[in-house]
Amino acid sequence: MSTQATSIRRSRDVPTLVAGAREGDHRAVARLVSLVENDDPVLPEVAAALAPHTGSAQVIGLTGSPGVGKSTSTNELVRAFRARGQRVGVLAVDPSSPFTGGAILGDRVRMQDHATDSGVYIRSMSSRGHLGGLAAATPQAVRVLEGAGCDVVLIETVGVGQAEVEIASLADTTLVLLAPGMGDAIQAVKAGILEIADVFVVNKADRDGADATYRDIQGMIGLGERGPGEWRPQVVRSVANRAEGIDDVMAAMDKHREWLTRPLPGGAGAHELTRRREARAAAEVEAIALGALRARIGNLRGGEALPTLAARVAAGKLDPYAAAKELLSTLEV
């Protein structure tokens, strides 16, 4: 490794890193994402420097059960977006060990086709025990890729199953991948992951049962109640390992993108994309504020306030709600 690469890898010089990321230096982008993942003290400075360059990328989430072909589909979508001349960032979240915290970050292996493409940045992230299919650092990592000039950010979730719905609050468009023979006909009548899709992709559509899965999903969508002008999820077929049906997936996403940018009735020029992004920003701000609050409460464990209140609650002299209220009053606002 060159001296310059080593310097960037260890650097905490935020203006230099942001400038490098804006110029397409993958090492600078990698360093910024690492700062985000490690919750580095310079993170507020990173966020402030990136803020003017964020908010324009198309954020697409891919989720579904393990084995449905998320990584293969992501690989083909990257190829399709690059054919349009767009810069693409990929955040692939892998499950981590509950014992060591480690993870096999396999998506880099699956997406080697784009390893030498300067217009593609691929980053595998460990979930580090965070539930919901994403890593806790994913929202800020998206901001890094937006700030680095990516036109499209693809987020591939862990693939933990029916409860993996957090991606819907982060993505502009959410793709739910299904495959025949994996129980998705039963899942179609359940609450959870199938309710978050903007586009359903029946992958491995060359297998027996694909038509039945397609019909089941269409039937489930038909049972849903929608008001005038509301989005009706699209259902498309694909065989990602043969690059078949990817044009249909792209067309469905384009259609959803067009719907997102239509003016809302009585919205004074606002549209659904604005509403979703404002909701996403609100959740992001709330998460940062709650994290800071938890850190302050954690610091109280070394003092007297929390142990004293805990002793009173344990002795039945104070209820936990009153104790929490008293504890919050000791924190600086």
Both structure tokens of 59? 């954020």
Compute the average pLDDT of residues 323-330.
86
List Cα–Cα distances, 241 to 31, 121, 213, 222, 246, in angstroms.
32, 21, 19, 30, 10
pLDDT tens column, 53-62: 988 899 999 9
* In the chain, % of residues over pLDDT 70: 80
Residue 313 pLDDT level (bands cut at 50, 70, 90): very high
Distance of CA 258 to the CA centre of its chain: 21
Q: Are strands 152-156 and 58-64 parallel, antiparallel or unpaired?
A: parallel
159 DSSP β-pair partners: none
The yes-or-no verdict on residue 176 having pLDDT over 70 is: yes
Sheet of 234-237, strands arranged across:
120-126, 88-94, 152-156, 58-64, 173-178, 199-202, 234-237
Check residue 132 and give its pLDDT.
44
pLDDT tens column, 192-221: 566 788 999 999 999 999 999 899 889 888
pLDDT tens column, 114-148: 777 889 999 888 765 454 445 667 888 999 999 99
d(CA 10, CA 31): 8
Contacts of 21 (CB under 8 A, 6+ apart): 28, 29, 32, 144, 147, 148, 149
pLDDT tens column, 242-284: 999 999 999 999 999 999 998 877 656 678 899 888 988 898 8
> Structure pTM?
0.83
Residue 159 pLDDT level (bands cut at 50, 70, 90): low
Residue 153 pLDDT level (bands cut at 50, 70, 90): very high
